[in-house]
Structure 1
Amino acid sequence: MNKHLNSLCLTCPLLILPVCPATLARAQLPETSETNAKQTNLLKDELFFCLTKPGGETISESEGQEFVKAVISPRFREGLTVLDGSGQFLSNSGILITEKSKRVILIYESSPEKNQAIHEIIETYKRTFLPESVLRATSEVKVSF
């Protein structure tokens, strides 16, 4: 008898739960209001710069800040974001490299001039610090202010 009573006690909640949908949590996307802010479609580029020079020397904070000030800021006066990072990649010689990095985020209206500016930033960084590569990730984003 006790065995059947225990089974009934365990089964009852399973039968009741579907009847009470208010107890279920539902994930929802945040609502965007057209009245609060106008959305605009722009491009977002994320540039990943490694901070290790060939031979193992690290690019200093002041060298990085000077590069942003002299090379990136004049081309993206509208604004940018610089974040510190730590990443890893497989080198051309097949060795897993871990190192500190900087990520620069640029959000802008698409134009041939801005695309050229990003190419110039990457090429200048490569000539200056001799990294194996600079990663560029581009995506379309909706923004509002």
Structure 2
Amino acid sequence: MNKHLNSLCLTGMLFVLPVCPATIARAQLPQSADTNVNQTNLLKDELYFGLTKPGGETVSESEWQEFVKAVITPRFREGLTVLDGSGQFLNSSGMLIRENSKIVILIYDSSPDKNRAINEIIETYKRTFQQESVLRATSEVKVSF
């Protein structure tokens, strides 16, 4: 009898719960995510610059600062962010390389000029510091100031 009473109570709850939607928790995005009228769609590029030169030497902090000053800043005067990183990758020979890096974050209006500027930064770094590659990750972002 007790077993049947439990089953009856459980069955009754299944019919009652859909009638009481206020008791069900729902995940929601913060209201500001949809209602911020100051948001703008821009592009975001993350550039990953390895600091190890062929032969084992590294790009010094003063060399890096000079590169930022002479090559990156003139092309992105409106702003940029530089972070220190530590990572690894497989080089073209299949060898695992671990090295420190600099990560440059650029947020900008999409244009052929900005795309060309980023390609120039990458090619100049590769040529100047004998690098195999510079990783570029591009995404669309919504920003507000």
TM-score (norm 1): 0.80
Runs (4+) off by over 6 Å = 21-25
CA RMSD of aligned residues (A): 2.5
Tell me, in whole angstroms, the C-alpha distance in 1 between the residues paired with 2:83 and 2:105. Answer: 8
Residues 124-143 of structure 1 mapped to structure 2, 5 A cutoff = 124-143=124-143
What's the counterpart of residue 118 of structure 2? 118
In structure 2, what residue type is equivalent to 1:61? E
What's the counterpart of residue 31 of structure 1? 31
Residues 75-90 of structure 1 mapped to structure 2, 5 A cutoff = 75-90=75-90
Deviations 1:26-71 (A, max 9, x none): 6442222677551111000110000000001011111111101110
The offset of 1:75, in angstroms, is: 0.3
Matched, 1:66 2:88: no
Tell me, in whole angstroms, the C-alpha distance in 2 between the residues paired with 1:42 and 1:92. Answer: 33
Distance 1:59 1:33, change over 3 A: closer
Count matched residues.
133
Contiguous gaps of at least 5 residues in structure 2? 1-5, 7-12
- Identity across matched positions, percent: 79
Contiguous gaps of at least 5 residues in structure 1? 1-7, 9-14
